[in-house]
């Protein structure tokens, strides 16, 4: 049990590591990709600058910021690659610092593009696009709060850039000076100048490159920015959320596994109790070889216990004087306690009757008294139906209330029933029931068969919820009467299972068949 749960725990731990691996690695992979892209782009930028101009045109940008950026991103890429490969044991803060540094340099680039770049048009385009990419990266690699902060910063930056340029700025594919001159030329008193300007205006119109108001341009960019931000935000947070739920899901799986283990333990305990109850109930039953020793009677008996034992009881007790006591009974309810009451009944039965000259009604009264006191001590409400039979010189005397006794006379074709209703009352329910105990008797001739049973046999249900019934039992006995007693018992029980369509009884089934042979 312990070993198995340990094994389960190890397997779960391994499973949790497997499931957590993508969660831990995805962030790092995204970051390494960003790092490497930036290292390549900025390096290319420097190379292109050097090839085009032969020197670096903006020292502050090209000689301080870009090399610093390359350094930070190269380190972050290297560090996180090693983390992914599981080849480094450096503390967590190294990873955190390089992550934040990578993103902050990217964000500084985005800000610089807007506020330092001389080309307003490109700066606007680059900034809006870059901001969106950064919102996504920030949201995925760090968290949604960082993405929100970055959105606010880039919006503010946007408006500052707009303020700096002034609301009168128009986006032309020429300098502002040219625009100004062009506009003056359109109204120039000089006809030639005016005509040239108008001609240009016609070409501009024709080529659809009309001046664009910066307000309109900004509005469009802003709408795009917001439209792009929303899905990006939720997409980024979704990835983050999904990844975050994995450890929680694993926790739940572990809990479920623990519960399953507990349930398994409980089931083992329950089935152990049921096994014990079954064992208790069957351990004191008379053995088949005991039946062989009886002279003049051929006895067959069998008890099939239900999964939850039903407290059936039977006893066959030969006496020195050649007589035999029989007992058959059924304890109310099911389970271990019913098995225990059955065991006590057997002990009381033997103690009271075996080799004593007590009459059966007195014996039944004593058994009732013993059981009543013991069951009360158990603080239980169980009781039982119990019939005592005494076979002596061809006569069966009987007492106690149980099911009927079935009698199949050798001369008759059909079986008959002998009622026990008036012979007694539930055993163990009240301390003294002697007023209700009576005795009756019948003769058992040579060849006659007596059958004792419990209600598990008659109340066995088929698939249509119909009982096997007392008639079914009597007819089965009539059909199998020519077999030896034990064979009769086995055949009848087989018929009951055939009737119910099951291989196990719902309630204990007990059948005892006694044939007088001499």
Beta strands in 415-500 (DSSP E): 416-418, 439-443, 449-453
Shortest Å, Cβ 350 to other proteins: 24
Q: Contact between 382 and other proteins (CB under 8 A)? A: yes
Residue 181 or 380 having the CB closest to other proteins: 380
Shortest Å, Cβ 408 to other proteins: 21
Longest distance between any two alpha carbons in the chain, whole Å: 154
Stretch that binds other proteins, among 44-52, 175-183, 350-358, 420-428 (CB under 8 A): 420-428
Size of the site for other proteins (CB under 8 A): 18
Q: Mark residues 334-353: x for contact with other proteins by CB under 8 A, - for none.
A: x-------------------
Find tokens 């992914």 and name the residue: 84
* 70, 39 contact by CB (below 8 A): yes
Stretch that binds other proteins, among 92-100, 178-186, 432-440, 479-487 (CB under 8 A): 432-440
Secondary element (H or E) of residue 516: strand 509-516
Q: How far apart are the first and last CA of the chain?
A: 58
| Beta-sheet strand order (sheet of 439-443) | 312-318, 324-331, 384-392, 395-399, 439-443
Residue 169 or 426 having the CB closest to other proteins: 426
Shortest Å, Cβ 334 to other proteins: 6
Shortest Å, Cβ 514 to other proteins: 23
Structure tokens at 411: 């001369």
Q: Contact between 421 and other proteins (CB under 8 A)? A: yes
DSSP strand pairing (312-318 vs 416-418)? unpaired
Closest CA to 391 of 351, 437, 445: 445
Question: Rounded to 5 degrees, what are φ and ψ at 474?
Answer: -65, -40
Q: Contact between 515 and other proteins (CB under 8 A)? A: no
Residue 127 or 507 having the CB closest to other proteins: 507
Residue 438 or 491 having the CB closest to other proteins: 438
Would you state the torsion angle of the CA atoms of residues 17, 21, 27, 32, taken in this order, to the nearest 10 degrees?
A: 130
Q: Looking at 436, 466, 471, 498, which residue binds other proteins (CB under 8 A)?
A: 436
Residue 69 or 332 having the CB closest to other proteins: 332
Structure tokens at 93: 């803060």
Q: Contact between 468 and other proteins (CB under 8 A)? A: no
Residue 79 or 334 having the CB closest to other proteins: 334
Shortest Å, Cβ 342 to other proteins: 13
Shortest Å, Cβ 309 to other proteins: 13
Stretch that binds other proteins, among 9-17, 426-434, 443-451, 485-493 (CB under 8 A): 426-434
Q: Which residues contact 167 (CB under 8 A, 6 or more apart)?
A: 214, 215
Q: Contact between 508 and other proteins (CB under 8 A)? A: no
Residue 127 or 330 having the CB closest to other proteins: 330
Footprint on residues 42-81 left by other proteins (CB under 8 A): none
Q: Contact between 372 and other proteins (CB under 8 A)? A: no
Q: CA-CA distance, 364 to 368, in Å (whole number)?
A: 6
Find tokens 């992979």 and name the residue: 29
Q: CA-CA distance, 238 to 465, in Å (whole number)?
A: 56
Residue 382 or 515 having the CB closest to other proteins: 382
Q: Contact between 332 and other proteins (CB under 8 A)? A: yes
Give how far Cα 50 sits from Cα of 36, 42, 54, 119, Å. 21, 12, 5, 20
Question: Rounded to 5 degrees, what are φ and ψ at 396?
Answer: -110, 120
Which residues contact other proteins (rule: CB under 8 A)? 330, 332-334, 381-383, 401, 403, 421-422, 425-426, 429-430, 433, 435-436
């Amino acid at each position: 049990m312990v070993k198995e749960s340990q094994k389960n725990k190890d397997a779960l731990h391994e499973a949790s590591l497997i499931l957590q691996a993508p969660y831990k690695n995805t962030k790092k992979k995204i970051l390494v990709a960003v790092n490497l892209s930036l290292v390549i782009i900025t390096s290319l930028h420097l190379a292109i600058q050097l090839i085009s101009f032969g020197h670096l045109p903006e020292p502050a940008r090209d000689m301080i910021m870009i090399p610093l950026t390359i350094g930070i991103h190269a380190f972050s890429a290297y560090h996180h690659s090693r983390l992914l490969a599981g080849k480094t044991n450096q503390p967590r803060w190294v990873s955190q610092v390089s992550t934040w540094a990578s993103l902050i340099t990217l964000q500084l680039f985005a800000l610089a593009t807007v506020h330092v770049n001389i080309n307003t048009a490109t700066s606007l385009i680059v900034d809006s696009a870059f901001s969106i990419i950064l919102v996504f990266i920030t949201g995925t690699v760090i968290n949604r709060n960082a993405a929100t902060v970055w959105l606010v910063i880039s919006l503010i930056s946007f408006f500052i850039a707009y303020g700096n340029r002034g609301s009168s700025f128009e986006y032309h594919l020429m300098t502002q000076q040219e625009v100004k001159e062009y506009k003056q030329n359109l109204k120039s008193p000089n006809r030639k100048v005016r005509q040239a300007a108008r001609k240009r205006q016609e070409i501009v119109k024709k080529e659809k490159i009309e001046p664009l108001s910066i307000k309109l341009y900004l509005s469009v960019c802003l709408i795009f920015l917001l439209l792009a931000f929303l899905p990006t935000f939720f997409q980024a947070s979704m990835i983050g959320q999904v990844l975050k739920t994995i450890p929680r899901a694993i926790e739940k799986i572990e809990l479920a596994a623990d519960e399953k283990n507990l349930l398994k333990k409980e089931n083992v305990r329950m089935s152990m109790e049921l096994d014990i109850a079954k064992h208790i109930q069957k351990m004191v039953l008379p053995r088949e070889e005991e039946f062989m020793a009886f002279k003049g009677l051929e006895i067959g008996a069998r008890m099939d216990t239900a999964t939850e034992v039903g407290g059936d009881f039977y006893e066959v007790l030969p006496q020195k004087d050649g007589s035999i006591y029989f007992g058959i009974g059924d304890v109310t309810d099911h389970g271990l306690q019913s098995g225990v009451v059955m065991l006590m009944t057997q002990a009381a039965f033997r103690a009271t009757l075996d080799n004593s000259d007590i009459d059966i009604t007195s014996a039944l009264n004593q058994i009732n008294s013993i059981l009543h006191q013991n069951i009360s001590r158990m603080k239980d409400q169980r009781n039982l139906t119990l019939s005592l039979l005494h076979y002596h010189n061809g006569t069966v005397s009987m007492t106690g209330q149980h099911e009927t006794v079935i009698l199949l006379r050798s001369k008759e074709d059909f079986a008959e029933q002998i009622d026990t209703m008036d012979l007694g009352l539930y055993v163990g329910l009240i301390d003294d029931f002697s007023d209700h105990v009576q005795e009756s008797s019948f003769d058992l001739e040579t060849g006659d068969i007596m059958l004792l049973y419990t209600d598990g046999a008659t109340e066995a249900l088929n698939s249509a919820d119909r009982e096997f019934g007392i008639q079914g039992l009597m007819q089965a006995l009539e059909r199998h009467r020519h077999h030896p007693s034990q064979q009769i018992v086995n055949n009848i029980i087989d018929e009951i299972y055939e009737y119910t369509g099951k291989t196990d009884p719902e309630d204990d089934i007990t059948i005892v068949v006694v044939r007088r042979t001499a």
